[in-house]
């Protein structure tokens, strides 16, 4: 092949076809979706301000490196639903309110799409973030205790103090309280739930009640 | 133009025209200083990235290791390590050797290389500061695009400054016939800025709706491997193999088929990373189909290489450059096959989200591209410096430790991934028990990173003992 | 040049010219062995490629969800249009219809479907709604599209009023509301499909005057139920 222009043109056209088909198409068809106004209100429900800040903490600490947030379509596998990670597959609109869609590619830890439904006690989350190996023995999750503050008990123990008994428990006279980052992160985690349905969810999956 | 003269003019090409030795010396001389920077910078990041990857791999099996400080948490460390290997090592050195190759193929030395030097320094500074920023919590959290906006912008700027040279070299080339390697390098250098800019713009800077990010993200991820790493590596392979065996491209039409089918299918195959995900079904299926069809360019290229290597097996043993290149091509075959299996939805149901996925990426990065980059360095540096490699035993250590290390890593990640995937699919096995299935394989991965660190350390030592300063011969032949 | 050397080459003495040649001479190329260069691509590779292309085409035909952006499940083969708009899952026409009825029709025909005696005809048990006697499904649709005026009889009761035209409603909305009234309040008649409404709309010349009963009676009766119902309510 001897002409640079024909080579360049063929590269450009082939590349352009996929750019149009994937990037532009996604922008036009998926990027301009709006919330669905159902009888239950706006779906997916908006995040609270704290949850939005919590999503930033989630991003800053790279939680997506180990945790996915997608329940797979039943045409591929039912195991995500059977495992109790969700009641229905995820669709594109579920990620409408996310600044960054934390779809994830690895499951070194469990999927988190519905963790707000599965584990709805904030105290569990605080304890798990601080000493994961005691809450879930054998877990690969590292402790993120830098999101918490170790402080001396002043008079009465703080109401926000986290009860800890494992190897990371504070010594006598000290308590562990969550920082704003930890509170935001837990608020975000608790708001992760697909407890609504959308019209485009495949009809062959009836959500189990 | 009768067929004989066409044959002559196109076949006379392991380079467009046999360059005079003086011209070659001038080309090599002009690139000597930038290449020194490139090699030093990329090997430095290779070592740092491998060390951090070792720490990260160890954290997977001993989660409490160094988990106190925020800047060492796995979620920050692993992306930093991966990005150092992707952009600090592979992309940087890939750009460097491509530029040398382009200069040789276009037959022109580079002038005003101070601009190039600034771009290289900018690149390394951006990598360094970007990595620090991720460790301090400013990651964008988009896989392979974790550098904060300002860092990725600096990287993009640096790339443009260097890419300018590729375009300029094309414009001053002396032959009207384009060699195969030039096709691949042109495709790579056109693709990378486009995908990098588009992905960063849409995913990290003035982001689009979360609902649309998945396909675009994996369009970038697939293209990084298939339209940046693969053409770089194949372009280098198409140069090194005929040069060392003393032959020519085996079949012109196979080269055409391999090139254009790669371009056609590569960009669509990224969506296979989202099989079962929240993307329209047709995108998923397009990804499946494209990944399966990627077997065609692989077979075409490997067949070409095989024919070129026939009868020259002694050269593979004797020449380190060829040895590394051949291991790289074998890795390419295995990578495409693994991708093929990964794309079949019923297999993907088992394999997705396991170490199989990251194993494939590591194979493309460390097995395929890195090995061919090593081969290129072994070919280029003696010509650049006028010095031969000082220690053959270090070369042997480098080669064998790297080959065994990569093989062990891929074996552990693939088999471990399959076993973990089967356990993950069985809802009766609790997630923590699934982790126990994966654990022994992850220990093997730690061990393989140790082997790789020693291998890269041997290579670094080899480079250190090459006395660049003593190679003053090239200055006499600056044209 | 032998790159495989344990000794520092700087230790050996080379005249400059030799070093130049050693470092920068072109690699030797065997230019005699060139037969295969313009040879054909092996037949097995061509066959393999064709087989893969064929498989690819079939796969895309079956597993692409009709190339719609709203189909996420690859097992859903939906090449035929699954209704207008962005929703591909089967819509419950009665739900659509009830909404349309409440917003548009109930003000006259009442939410009970009983109408107002002397003013607005009832829909319950009405032969107009149930397509009995000379009334066909097409008459019902035309009625809704362009309205009705003048004397009419419903269940042997005379009425003389004007029904507004509703052609601004979409085919799906009209099909939905008609399906709704035919299955509500004890009425039991087959649903009306969106396609049927579209067909009747296309067959009818647009008019500014509402129909009279005589005009409608002159049009031959047509039923929707012979065509398969894509808009059937989900069971």
Interface test with C, best of A201, A202, A205 (most C CBs within 10 A): A202
DSSP output for B225-244 = IIIIIHHHHHHHHHHHHHHH
- pTM, entire model: 0.79
Q: Which of C189, C187, C198, C171 is nearest to C225 (CA)?
A: C189
pLDDT surpassing 70 at residue C25: no
What DSSP character marks residue C206?
P
- Among C63, C86, C89, select the one facing A203 at the smallest CB separation: C89
The answer to whether B252 contacts C38, with C-beta atoms less than 8 Å apart, is: yes
DSSP summary character for residue C157: E
> For A40-49, B208-217, B401-410, B463-472, which range has the lowest pLDDT when averaged over its residues?
B463-472
Confidence band for C33, pLDDT divided at 50, 70 and 90: low
Question: C69 to chain A: which residues are within 8 Å by CB?
Answer: 25, 29-30
- Contacting residues of B for A21, CB less than 8 Å apart: 268, 286
Residue A73's closest chain C neighbor by CA? C73
A103 exposed, middle or buried (CB, 10 Å; 0-12, 13-18, 19+)?
buried
- Name the 3-class secondary structure at C28: coil
> Is the pLDDT at C232 greater than 60, yes or no?
no
Which chains, if any, share at least 3 CB pairs under 8 A with chain B? A, C
Touching check for C87 and chain A: CB below 8 Å? yes
Contact flag A100-B275 (C-beta cutoff 8 Å): no
| Cα–Cα distance, B87 to B105 (Å, whole number) | 25
Q: pLDDT category, B5, cuts 50, 70, 90? A: very low
Output the pLDDT for position C170.
Answer: 79
**Averaged pLDDT for residues C77-82:** 58
- Our CA-based measurement puts residue B375 at a distance from the nearest CA of chain A, in whole angstroms, of 27
Measured between CA atoms, how close is A184 to chain C, in angstroms?
A: 32
Q: What confidence tier does C105 reach under pLDDT thresholds 50, 70, 90?
A: confident
Confidence check: pLDDT of C103 > 50: yes
Are C123 and C115 contacting, i.e. CB atoms less than 8 angstroms apart? yes
CA-nearest residue to B344 within chain C is C59
B388, B392, B465, best to mutate vs chain C, most C CBs in 10 Å: B388
Report the complex ipTM.
0.92
pLDDT at position C231 is 37
**Rounded mean pLDDT of chain B?**
89
Q: pLDDT at position B173, please?
A: 76
pLDDT of residue C23: 59
Q: Band of the pLDDT at B475, cuts 50, 70, 90?
A: very low
The pLDDT > 90 percentage for chain A reads 48
- Give yes or no for C72 touching A (CB within 8 A): yes
Which of B6, B9, B23, B282 is the mutation pick for testing C, counting most C CBs within 10 A? B282
How does pLDDT run across B322-374, given as a tens digit for each residue? 999 999 999 999 999 999 999 999 999 999 999 999 999 999 999 999 999 99
What's the rounded Cα separation, in Å, for the pair B262 and B217? Answer: 20
Residue C134 has pLDDT above 90, yes or no: no
Lowest mean pLDDT across A88-102, B162-176, B255-269, B433-447: B162-176
Q: Do B270 and A110 touch (CB under 8 A)?
A: no
Whether A29 shows a pLDDT value over 70: the answer reads yes
Question: For chain A, which domains are there?
Answer: 48-191 (1.10.760.10)
pLDDT level of residue C84 (50, 70, 90 thresholds) = very low
**Beta strand extents in A86-173 (DSSP E only):** 148-152
Check if the beta carbon of residue A151 is closer than 8 Å to that of residue A164: no
What is the mean predicted confidence (pLDDT) over B54-76?
A: 93
> Beta-carbon neighbour count of residue C18 at 10 Å?
10
> Which of B278-287, B304-313, C28-37 has the lowest average pLDDT?
C28-37
Percent of chain B scoring above 90 in pLDDT:
70
Contact A99 B207 (CB under 8 A): yes
d(CA B401, CA B366): 13
Please name the residues between 297 and 326 in chain B that touch chain C, using a CB distance below 8 Å: 299-300, 303, 307, 318-321
**Mean pLDDT, residues C35-44 taken together:** 83
* Closest CA of chain C from B399, distance in Å: 13
Closest alpha carbon to B88 in B142, B40, B34: B40
CB proximity under 8 Å: A 10-39 to C: 25, 29-30
Q: Which phi and psi angles does C204 have, rounded to 5°?
A: -100, 130
Instruction: Answer whether residue C82 shows pLDDT above 50.
Output: no
Six token digits for residue C29: 């190329």
Q: Which residues of C touch B388 (CB under 8 A)?
A: 1-3, 5, 8-9
| Cβ contacts of B354 on chain A, cutoff 8 Å | 106-107
Q: Are A32 and A66 in contact (CB under 8 A)?
A: no
Mean pLDDT of chain C: 76
What mean pLDDT do residues C198-226 have?
Answer: 84
Residue C168 buriedness (CB in 10 A; 0-12 / 13-18 / 19+): exposed
Share of chain A above pLDDT 70, in %: 93
**Residue C174: which pLDDT band, with cuts at 50, 70 and 90?**
confident
Looking at per-residue pLDDT, the higher value among C5 and A3 belongs to: A3
Write down the pLDDT at residue B467: 65
As a whole number, mean pLDDT of residues C110-136 equals: 87
Measured in whole angstroms, how far is the alpha carbon of residue C126 from the centre of its chain? 32
DSSP of B310-338: TT-HHHHHH-HHHHHHHHHHHHHHHHHHH
In chain C, positions 129-158, which contact chain A (CB-CB < 8 Å)? none
Dihedral angle computed from the Cα positions of residues A101, A104, A110 and A113, in that order, rounded to the nearest 10 degrees: 20
Mean pLDDT of A52-60: 95
B123-139 pLDDT per residue, tens = 999 999 999 999 999 99
How close C124 comes to chain A (CA, Å)? 28
Burial class (CB in 10 A: 0-12, 13-18, 19+), C227: exposed
Interface test with C, best of A30, A73, A88 (most C CBs within 10 A): A73
Give chain B positions within 8 Å (CB) of C45: 254, 257, 296, 299-300, 303
Q: At what angle do helices B370-385 and C16-24 cross, to 10 degrees?
A: 160
Q: How far is C90 from chain B (nearest CA, A)?
A: 17
Spatial separation of the C-alpha atoms in residues A92 and B428, rounded to whole Å: 29
Size of interface A-C (CB pairs under 8 A): 45
What 3-state DSSP class applies to A154?
A: coil
B193 touches chain C (CB under 8 A): no
Residue B356 CB neighbour total at 10 angstroms:
24
Residue B302: per-residue pLDDT: 96
Q: How far is A6 from chain C (nearest CA, A)?
A: 21
Q: Check: CB of residue A46 under 8 Å from CB of residue B210.
A: no
Residue A77 in contact with partner chain C when CB distance is under 8 A: no
Confidence at residue B164, expressed as pLDDT on a 0 to 100 scale: 83
Mean pLDDT of the B80-89 span: 97
Which CA distances in Å does A140 have to A135, A136, B1, B68? Answer: 12, 9, 68, 15
Q: What is the pLDDT of residue B221?
A: 95
pLDDT higher than threshold 90 for residue B12: no
Whether pLDDT at C133 is above 70: yes
Whole-angstrom distance, CA of residue B100 vs CA of residue B181: 12
Chain B CB within 8 Å of residue C26 CB: yes
Q: Does the pLDDT at position A47 exceed 50? A: yes
Of residues A25, A29, A202, nearest to C72 (C-beta): A202
Cβ distance C65 to B280 less than 8 Å, yes or no, reads yes
C44 touches chain B (CB under 8 A): no
Residues of chain B neighbouring A14 (CB-CB closer than 8 A): 260, 263-264, 267
Residue B7 has pLDDT above 50, yes or no: no
| CB < 8 Å to A2, chain B | 176-178
Query: Which chains contact A through at least 3 pairs of Cβ atoms less than 8 Å apart?
Result: B, C
Pick from C37, C49, C52: CB nearest B248: C37
């Amino acid at each position: 092949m001897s002409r640079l222009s024909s080579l360049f043109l063929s590269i450009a056209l082939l590349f352009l076809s996929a750019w149009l088909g994937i990037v532009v198409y996604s922008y036009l068809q998926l990027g301009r979706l709006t919330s669905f106004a159902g009888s239950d209100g706006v779906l997916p429900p908006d995040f609270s301000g704290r949850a939005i800040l919590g999503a930033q903490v989630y991003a800053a600490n790279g939680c997506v490196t180990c945790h996915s947030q997608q329940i797979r379509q039943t045409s591929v596998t039912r195991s995500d639903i059977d495992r109790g990670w969700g009641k229905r597959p995820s669709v594109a609109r579920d990620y409408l309110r996310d600044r960054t869609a934390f779809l994830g590619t690895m499951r070194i830890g469990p999927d988190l799409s519905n963790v707000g439904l599965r584990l709805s006690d904030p105290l569990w989350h605080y304890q798990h973030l601080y000493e994961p190996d005691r809450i879930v023995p054998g877990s690969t999750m590292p402790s993120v205790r830098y999101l918490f503050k170790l402080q001396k008990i002043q008079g009465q123990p703080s109401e926000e103090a986290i009860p800890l008994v494992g190897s990371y428990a504070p010594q006598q006279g000290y308590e562990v309280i969550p920082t704003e980052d930890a509170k935001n992160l837990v608020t975000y985690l608790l708001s992760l739930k697909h407890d609504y349905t959308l019209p485009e969810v495949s009809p062959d999956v009836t959500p189990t009640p | 133009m009768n067929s004989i003269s066409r044959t002559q003019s196109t076949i006379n090409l392991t380079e467009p025209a046999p360059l005079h030795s003086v011209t070659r010396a001038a080309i090599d001389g002009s690139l000597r200083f930038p290449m020194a920077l490139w090699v030093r910078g990329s090997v430095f990041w290779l070592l740092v990235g491998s060390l951090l990857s070792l720490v990260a791999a160890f954290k997977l099996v001993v989660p409490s290791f160094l988990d106190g400080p925020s800047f060492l948490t796995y979620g920050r460390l692993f992306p930093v390590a991966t990005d150092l290997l992707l952009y600090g090592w592979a992309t940087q050195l890939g750009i460097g050797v491509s530029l040398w190759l382009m200069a040789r193929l276009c037959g022109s030395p580079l002038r005003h290389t101070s601009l190039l030097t600034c771009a290289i320094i900018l690149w390394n500074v951006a990598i360094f500061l970007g990595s620090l920023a991720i460790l301090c919590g400013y990651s964008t959290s988009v896989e392979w695009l974790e550098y904060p906006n300002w860092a990725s912008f600096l990287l993009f700027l640096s790339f443009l400054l260097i890419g300018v040279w590729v375009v300029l070299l094309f414009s001053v080339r002396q032959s009207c016939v384009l060699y195969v390697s030039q096709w691949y390098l042109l495709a790579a250098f056109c693709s990378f800025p486009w995908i990098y800019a588009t992905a960063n713009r849409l995913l990290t800077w003035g982001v689009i709706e979360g609902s649309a990010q998945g396909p675009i993200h994996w369009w970038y991820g697939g293209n990084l491997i298939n339209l940046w790493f693969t053409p770089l590596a194949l372009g280098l392979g198409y140069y090194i193999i005929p040069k060392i065996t003393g032959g020519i491209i085996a079949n012109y039409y196979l080269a055409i088929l391999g090139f254009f089918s790669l371009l056609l299918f590569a960009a669509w195959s990224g969506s296979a990373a989202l099989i079962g995900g929240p993307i329209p079904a047709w995108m998923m299926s397009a990804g499946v189909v494209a990944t399966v069809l990627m077997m065609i360019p692989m077979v075409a290229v490997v067949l070409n290489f095989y024919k070129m290597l026939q009868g020259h097996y002694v050269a593979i043993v004797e020449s380190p450059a060829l040895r590394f290149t051949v291991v790289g091509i074998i890795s390419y075959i295995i990578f495409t096959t693994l991708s093929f299996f990964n794309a079949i939805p019923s297999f993907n149901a088992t394999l997705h989200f396991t170490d199989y996925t990251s194993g494939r990426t590591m194979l493309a990065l460390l097995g395929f591209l890195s090995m061919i980059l090593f081969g290129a360095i072994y070919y280029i540096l003696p010509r650049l410096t006028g010095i031969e490699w000082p220690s053959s035993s270090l070369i042997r250590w480098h080669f064998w430790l790297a080959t065994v290390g990569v093989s062990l890593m891929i074996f552990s990640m693939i088999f471990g991934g399959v076993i973990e995937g089967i356990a993950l699919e069985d809802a009766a096995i609790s997630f923590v028990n699934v982790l126990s299935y994966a654990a022994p394989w992850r220990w093997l991965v730690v061990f393989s990173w140790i082997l790789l660190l020693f291998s890269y350390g041997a290579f670094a030592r080899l480079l250190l003992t090459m006395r660049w300063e003593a190679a003053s011969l090239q200055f006499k032949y600056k044209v | 040049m032998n790159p495989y050397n344990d000794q520092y080459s700087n230790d050996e003495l080379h005249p400059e010219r030799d070093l130049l040649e050693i470092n920068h001479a072109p690699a030797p190329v065997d230019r005699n062995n060139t037969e295969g260069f313009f040879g054909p691509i092996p037949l097995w590779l061509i066959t393999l490629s064709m087989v893969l292309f064929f498989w690819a085409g079939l796969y895309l035909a079956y597993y692409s969800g009709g190339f719609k952006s709203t189909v996420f499940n690859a097992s859903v083969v939906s090449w035929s249009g699954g209704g207008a708009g962005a929703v591909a899952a089967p819509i419950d026409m009665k739900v659509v219809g009830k909404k349309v009825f409440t917003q548009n029709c109930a003000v006259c025909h009442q939410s009970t479907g009983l109408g107002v005696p002397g003013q607005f005809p009832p829909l319950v048990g009405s032969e107009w709604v149930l397509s009995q006697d000379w009334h066909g499904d097409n008459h019902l649709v035309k009625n809704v599209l362009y309205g009705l005026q003048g004397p009419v009889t419903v269940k042997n009761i005379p009425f003389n009023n004007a029904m507004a035209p509703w052609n601004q409603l979409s085919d799906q909305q009209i099909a939905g509301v008609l399906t709704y009234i035919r299955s509500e309040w004890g009425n039991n008649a087959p649903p009306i499909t969106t396609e049927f409404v579209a067909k009747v709309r296309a067959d009818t010349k647009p008019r500014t005057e509402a129909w009279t009963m005589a005009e409608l009676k002159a049009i031959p009766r047509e039923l929707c139920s012979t065509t398969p119902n894509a808009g059937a309510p989900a069971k």
